[in-house]
Amino acid sequence: MKRKEKLEYADLTHILSPKSVAVIGATENPAKVGHAIMQNYIDVGFQGSVYPINIGAQGKIMGFQAYKSILDVKKPIDLAVIAIPAEFVSATIGQCAKAQVKGIVIVTSGFAEVGNQKLENALNKALSKIKIPTIGPNCLGVMDPRARNDTLFLPTYKIDRPKVGGVSFASQSGSVGSSILDLISAEGFGLSKFISYGNASMVDEVDVLNYLAHDKDTKVILYYLEGVKRGRQFIEAAKTATKLKPVVIIKGGITAQGAGAAHSHTASLAGSHEAYEAVFKQYGFITGDSLEDLLYFGKVFDTQPLTDGNRIAVLTNGGGHGVLATDAIYANGLALAEMSKRSERALRAAMPPIVNIRMPFDMSGEANATSYSKALEVLGDDPGVDAFMVIALFQTPGADENLVTTLIKFSEQKKKPMVVVSTGSAYTKSHTALMEASGVPVYDSPTAAARSLAALINYSRYKNGVEE
């Protein structure tokens, strides 16, 4: 049976990986949304055909042959991106259907989110007459770096585009989506897909979650959610998705005031926070308390192997950080690892006399790449150690680029999960950037690192059916 026949959710393939795109509302005017979308397709190097559509078109727009109507193109169109005033969108939907496009993104706002229910109803009626997967309205749309597809109306010079990777990010909010995309680029881990779906007139959170759960290029799903329209179907989607891959979710609208803001923002019914929390816990979502958690958890899931064990070995070249790490570990339901006698003997023989052989393992401010390498080698084979929190303070004399190489090398072996804590400014950040680029998750604080390890371990236990 072909994949299409198996789908019980919207197939977003032509929206995310189109071979041809029509931009309805394309213009030479740099102040308009249609111009920014056209420029993005140029900037990201889209390899397919681009057809600018503008009712007043004459000749070319931004170097591409322009058309007054999508019906004038007379060539196959995979994706239509609609960026025109709200009152004209419903009629344009009918034209897209006649043109036999395979997917639609409506970035236009001005519907139910601003109280214009009449226009929203007209759009819903138009969409009900077609069977074309449609994202929006009131959204940023989509980005797929592999396909060089970018419908965002935010210029590339204002928001860095992430490199290709395994993390997909879905957001009901365009503003949250754009901010997190910018931060993902800064954190150094890669993006598989980005989907901003706004008011969800057709494609909704159920379709998005199902699609990403089955997407072979998506390793981890990050999700910012304000509300759910189809509760029962969302639960079914969750059951499937979280058994296939980690889903990190942030729920907006947890207070009565926030729920009201969510409704006015995306015309979403935010619902009971307690009900959502119960569903998230029961079906294995990894919940975060802040947008930073999306980043913190996302990069540990993207780079580190899963583990059911919660015994954490702390390696540090600063005693105070070791104390803070211990507090953070226990505050997040984890525990310090206990070294085996064999490990104690091996480390005693390798370390200077001033070093106490105990957890947290403080190798002193004199620690260098050799010290860390030996500790990782010994404790990496210790059955009493499930994961590592490595604190690397580059202000000390022995911490330099050789330590970076050591940590990258150990992480590449994927023996046990490892997170790194490194606090500092320019010199430190130049070294942490190298680690992040090589797939080593680095955090500014032991608290953020411990929360991320706890998320990794708790999800692993859920997936493997391990009782807590």
Report the pLDDT value the prediction gives residue 125, as an integer from 0 to 100: 95
Percent of the chain with pLDDT over 90: 81
Helix ranges restricted to H, 228-285: 231-244, 256-266, 273-282
Helix, strand, or coil here: 82? strand
Whether this model's pTM surpasses 0.85: yes
Together in a domain, 310 and 458: yes
Say if residue 255's pLDDT is above 60.
no
Could you tell me whether strands 387-391 and 361-362 are parallel, antiparallel, or unpaired per DSSP bridges? unpaired
359 and 244 assigned to the same domain: no
pLDDT band at 271 (very low <50, low <70, confident <90, very high): low
Distance CA 14, CA 5 (A): 16
DSSP conformational letter for 163: P
Q: CA nearest 27: which of 13, 10, 43, 39?
A: 39
Q: What's the CATH code of the domain at 325? A: 3.40.50.261
Which residues form the domain of 21? 3-301
Whether residues 272 and 201 fall in one domain: yes
Same domain, 290 and 344: no
Greater confidence, 154 or 214? 214
C-beta separation of 366 from 398 below 8 A: yes
Residues 382 and 367 in one domain: yes
- Same domain (yes/no): 293, 315: no
* Same domain? 146 vs 225: yes
Which element (helix H / strand E) includes 169?
A: strand 164-171
pLDDT confidence of residue 154: 87
**What confidence category does residue 8 fall into, taking pLDDT thresholds of 50, 70 and 90?**
low
pLDDT at 332: 97
Q: What is the pLDDT of residue 184?
A: 86
Question: 393 with 439, same domain?
Answer: yes
The pLDDT tens digits of the residues spanning 278-319 come to 889 899 999 998 889 999 999 999 999 999 999 999 999 999
Which of 240, 270, 301 delimits the end of a domain? 301
> Is the pLDDT at 267 greater than 80, yes or no?
no
Helix, strand or coil, per DSSP, at residue 390: strand
pLDDT tens figures, 104-148 = 999 999 999 999 999 999 999 999 999 899 999 999 999 999 999
Question: Does 310 lie in the same domain as 248?
Answer: no
Task: Please tell me the predicted confidence (pLDDT) of residue 252.
Answer: 81
Domain boundary among the residues 301, 328, 356 is at: 301
User: Could you tell me if 379 and 343 are in contact, meaning their C-beta atoms sit under 8 angstroms apart?
Assistant: yes
Predicted local confidence at residue 468, as pLDDT:
60
What is the reported pLDDT for 203? 96
Last residue of a domain, one of 301, 321, 349: 301
User: What is the structure's pLDDT at 417?
Assistant: 98
Residue of 195, 169, 201 whose CA lies nearest to 267: 201
Tell me, yes or no, whether 400 and 444 share the same domain: yes
Q: Using one digit for the tens of pLDDT, what is the confidence trace for 425-445?
A: 999 999 999 999 999 999 999
The tally of domains found in the chain comes to: 2
Q: How far is CA 281 from CA 138, 227, 241, 284, in A?
A: 30, 17, 14, 6
The pLDDT mean for the chain works out to 91
Under a CB-based contact definition with an 8 Å cutoff, are residues 453 and 334 in contact? yes
pLDDT at 4 over 90: no
Integer angstrom CA distances of residue 165 from 146, 296, 299, 405: 9, 16, 11, 22
Whether pLDDT at 261 is above 60: no
Query: Per residue in 143-176, pLDDT tens?
Result: 999 999 999 998 888 888 889 999 999 999 988 9
- pLDDT band of residue 60 (cuts 50, 70, 90) is very high
Is the same domain home to 203 and 183?
A: yes
How would residue 253 be classed by pLDDT, with cut points 50, 70 and 90? Answer: low
Considering the domain architecture, whether residues 329 and 385 belong to the same structural domain is answered as yes
